[in-house]
Chains A and B, each alone.
Chain A
Amino acid sequence: MHKRLKLIAIVLFLLPFFALGLLSVLDSDEVLSMEENRNLAQKVSPTFQTLVNSEFTADYEVYYQDQFPYRTELIACNQMINFLYSLNIPSNLVSFFSGILYQKDTPKDEIIPPVISPEMEEQPSELPPVEEPVPEPEPDLTWYGNSDFFIPYAEDIAYIDSFNYITSNSSIELYEYTPERLAQYAHILNAYGDALPEVDTYFMFVPNSAEFYLPNSIQNSLDSQEDGFVYMSSLLSDQIGTIDLFPVFSAHLEEYIFFRTDHHWTTRGAYYACEAFLEATGVTALLPDDYTYGYREDFLGSLHSVSTMFTNSLENYPDVVEYFIPNMPSTATLYHTAEMTDGTEIDLVQPDYNLEDSLYHVFLGGDAAILDIQTEVGNGKTLVLVRDSYGHAILPHLLPYYDRIIAVEPRYFNTEGFPSLNLIDFVEKVEADDLLFLSYSIPLSGFYWWMDWCQVVEGMHPNWGA
């Protein structure tokens, strides 16, 4: 009896391994993982060299992991492990912890607002009354349509570590203040400023939602993005103008300026940043008379994918992608090389974008190595924008102020498999008046490991470039 049971157990032990082995051979390979927003590794063939230097086995292991049978479904099951390993913290417990420590904490900065919740509103404030600030004139938001999709960030915590803060309706990347990295980037920008004295060069450090929407008590335990910005600004030469978005965003916290399930800003956030940039260049932003406005609902972005390891709750609170574009004559041409030949004309806003990967692609339809936008503004001004994906949403807002806007994506140059681009030659060739470096805070954070933003921007400088 016992022996038979043990034989059954042995068969049960071996069966899944053989079955998975067989399935691995039989099933077809996937190319893209929508959830992870990346290409999956494909089968590799061995060569003598890759066999000797172990590259083949390492690559094959990655391939096998990526193409594991029922990988997506199995990974989804990991949520139950995480559910136990990282207990959800209900909002009343969050308030309780906050209550224990709140008196010890001093608010890090006035710009950090308390998270608005009915319970907190009812709590008597122990702080001395503050003089009422003079109310600023309400911005005219009519050009956004009448919708307002902002909802307060939830106060419970589904998961927290050094990188992520996930609640039942939001998922937020956290920032790590790394002076060395900021100093390195400042050094690179100064070199561009020195090499292009005739061009007005600007730097826009875009904070993400972590700086504005986390409770004070948690903010006090985390690094401040504003500290990072202030430190980096102190290292920049006079040649580089800086755009301080912290007070700008703080004035609009009850508006929908960041997505809750994605790592980007919304078109509104981008608009306020655009206003601040124009102000720095000495131009007053004017709302266009004629524009196209619309929105796409049910957007679950990149940080929703991170959150699925811990909770499905964000699916109940999808984001909305609003878009806005002035109705004015313009053409946008996409190029893959610095020579800007063989371009493809695209729309800056693609309201009908229907691929499943990300609705943020409503802007430009995704990444673009070089985007050359020509307008008929007639002021003769040219802007070169060196940007990451945050740049996508800001481009439509810049249209009324430049004859030509060239958006450069550094990650598509000077690395293996990509063409080279010498930014200094490029800026001189297109006779740019303004040069704007735009990066959101996380790639300049110590936590960021996927790609070194400093390195890709550095790569476009002739003294450092590949």
Chain B
Amino acid sequence: MKNKRMKMARLELDMSQEDLAQAVGVTRQTILLIEGGGYNPTLNLCISICKVLGKTLNDLFWEG
């Protein structure tokens, strides 16, 4: 399932996928796959992404 909330949060900060990838220490392809729903990240990576984007796990990853 696509993660539109993560993409929106990234765009709100005017960050490219490359910027976010560098900030959390992964490749751009990994960010692309997470946003596209093609890769299930570990909890550690989710937390790193949340910290960089200033959001909580609930905001970005919880499917209610």
Are these two chains actual partners, yes or no?
no
State the A residues within 8 Å of B (CB).
none
